[in-house]
Amino acid sequence: MKAIEITTKTDKQGLINFSYPTDKKESKVRIVIFVDENNDDIDDEALWLKSISSNPAFDFLKSDDEDIYSLKDGEPFHD
């Protein structure tokens, strides 16, 4: 197995942009990304919430048809 390391930077939105030419056309590829876990200023939950809230895959949730529950539904949960 051949390992390829690409050094790049994220843009202002946190997206990774890179291009790497290969001799494989229309082939499956696997990309492995390592994130520096020693970076304490990253709030994983805030990053995840920001990512999911701006992801167009979840735009359907903004539809009024998806509002099927209200505060009157269900029963209170006391832990």
How far, in Å, CA of 69 to CA of 46, rounded?
A: 25
| 36-67 confidence digits (pLDDT tens) | 666 666 677 888 888 888 888 888 888 888 88
The confidence score (pLDDT) of residue 39 equals 62
The confidence score (pLDDT) of residue 42 equals 62
Nearest to 33 by CA among 13, 12, 7: 7
- State the average pLDDT for the chain: 79
pLDDT band for position 21 (50/70/90)?
confident
